[in-house]
Amino acid sequence: MSEPSSPGESQCGAPRFFVGCVEDESEGLDDCASMRTDMELYEDYLEDDSPPECQIVVGICCMMKKSKSKPMTQILERLCKFEYITVVIFPEDVILNEPVEKWPLCDCLISFHSKGFPLDKAVSYTKLRNPLLINDLNMQYYIQDRREVYRILQEEGVDLPRYAVLNRDPDNPDECNLVEGEDQVEVNGEVFLKPFVEKPVSAEDHNVYIYYPTSAGGGSQRLFRKIGSRSSVYSPESSVRKTGSYIYEEFMPTDGTDVKVYTVGPDYAHAEARKSPALDGKVERDSEGKEIRYPVMLTAMEKLVARKVCLAFKQTVCGFDLLRANGHSYVCDVNGFSFVKNSMKYYDDCAKILGNIVMRELAPQFQIPWSIPTEAEDIPIVPTTSGTMMELRCVIAVIRHGDRTPKQKMKMEVRNPMFFELFEKYGGYKTGKLKLKKPKQLQEVLDITRTLLTDIGQHTDCEIEEKKSKLEQLKTVLEMYGHFSGINRKVQLTYLPHGQPKTSSEEEGMRIRKIYPFAVML
Lowest mean pLDDT among 65-79, 123-137, 418-432: 418-432
Nearest to 309 by CA among 356, 251, 269, 252: 269
Q: Is the pLDDT assigned to residue 204 strictly greater than 80?
A: yes
> Highest mean pLDDT: which of 28-37, 46-55, 113-122?
113-122
- For 298-324, how does the pLDDT look when each residue is reduced to its tens digit (9 = 90+)? 999 999 999 999 999 999 999 999 999
Q: Please say whether the dihedral angle defined by the alpha carbons of residues 38, 42, 43 and 45, taken in this order, is positive or negative.
A: positive
Confidence of residue 17 (pLDDT cuts 50, 70, 90): low
- Give me the percent of the chain exceeding a pLDDT of 90: 48
What's the confidence (pLDDT) of residue 439?
A: 86
Residue 418: CB atoms within 10 Å: 16
Give the N- to C-terminal CA distance of the chain in Å, as an integer. Answer: 74
Q: In what order do the strands lie in the sheet with 328-336?
A: 294-295, 269-275, 257-264, 317-325, 328-336
pLDDT in tens, 85-111: 999 999 999 999 999 999 999 999 999
Does the pLDDT of residue 9 top 60, yes or no?
no
Rounded CA separation 226/234 (Å): 15
Please report, for the chain, how many H helices and E strands are present, in that order.
13, 25
Reported in sequence order, the residue ranges of 173-229 that DSSP labels E, i.e. its strands, are 178-180, 184-187, 190-193, 196-200, 208-211, 220-227
Domains and CATH numbers, the chain: 162-251 (3.30.470.20), 409-458+465-495 (no CATH)
Per-residue pLDDT for 381 more than 60?
yes
Helix (H, G, I), strand (E, B) or coil at 290: coil
| Confidence check: pLDDT of 66 > 50 | yes
What residues contact 176, with CB distance under 8 A and at least 6 apart? 166, 167, 168, 169
> Which of these, 363, 328, 268, 438, lies nearest to 55 by C-alpha position?
363
Relative to beta strand 294-295, strand 269-275 is antiparallel
What angle (nearest 5°) sits at the alpha carbon of residue 125, between those of residues 121 and 128?
140
Indicate if the pLDDT at residue 403 is higher than 60. Answer: yes
Sheet of 196-200: strand order equals: 163-166, 246-250, 196-200, 208-211, 220-227, 230-235
The pLDDT confidence band at residue 12, using thresholds 50, 70 and 90, is very low
Lowest mean pLDDT segment, chosen from 42-51, 315-324, 418-427: 42-51
Q: Report pTM.
A: 0.65
Of residues 45 and 130, more confidently modeled? 130
Return d(Cα 81, Cα 351) in angstroms, integer.
9
Calculate ∠ Cα 262-322-139, nearest 5°.
60
The b-or-e profile of 196-205 (16+ CB within 10 A means b, else e) is bbbbbbebee
Kindly give the pairing relationship between strand 257-264 and strand 269-275.
Answer: antiparallel
Neighbours of 313 (CB within 10 A): 24
3-state secondary structure of 366: coil
Instruction: Look at 13-17, 321-325, 428-432, 518-522 and tell me which has the smallest mean pLDDT.
Output: 13-17
- Length of the chain in residues, anyone? 522
Q: Which range has the worst mean pLDDT, 287-301, 337-351, 473-487? A: 473-487
* Mean per-residue pLDDT of the chain: 82
- Edge-first strand order for the sheet with 17-19 is 17-19, 85-89, 56-61, 108-111, 132-133
**Among the listed ranges 243-252, 356-365, 496-505, which one has the minimum average pLDDT value?**
496-505
pLDDT confidence tier of residue 401, bands split at 50, 70 and 90: confident
Higher pLDDT, 507 or 213: 213
- pLDDT for the residue 234: 92
Name which residue leads in pLDDT, 345 or 405. 345
Lowest mean pLDDT among 50-54, 236-240, 495-499: 50-54
> Comparing 487 with 200, which gets the higher pLDDT?
200
Position 377 scores a pLDDT of 55
Half-sphere CA count of 444, side-chain side, radius 13 A: 15
DSSP conformation letters of 9-56: B-S--S--EEE---TT--TTHHHHHHH-TTHHHHHHHHHHSPPPS--E
Residue 195 has pLDDT above 90, yes or no: yes
* Distance in angstroms (rounded) separating the CA atoms of residues 252 and 187: 18
Distance of CA 145 to the CA centre of its chain: 26
Report the pLDDT value the prediction gives residue 19, as an integer from 0 to 100.
Answer: 58
Beta-bridge partner residues of 197: 210, 249
Residue 503: pLDDT band with limits 50, 70, 90:
low
Cβ atoms of 221 and 209 within 8 Å: the answer is yes
pLDDT band at 384 (very low <50, low <70, confident <90, very high): low
Q: How far apart are CA 209 and CA 379, in angstroms?
A: 47
Average pLDDT value for residue range 157-175: 85
Q: pLDDT tens digits, residue range 405-415?
A: 667 788 888 87
Which residue type, as a one-letter code, is found at position 328?
H
Percent of the chain topping pLDDT 70: 78
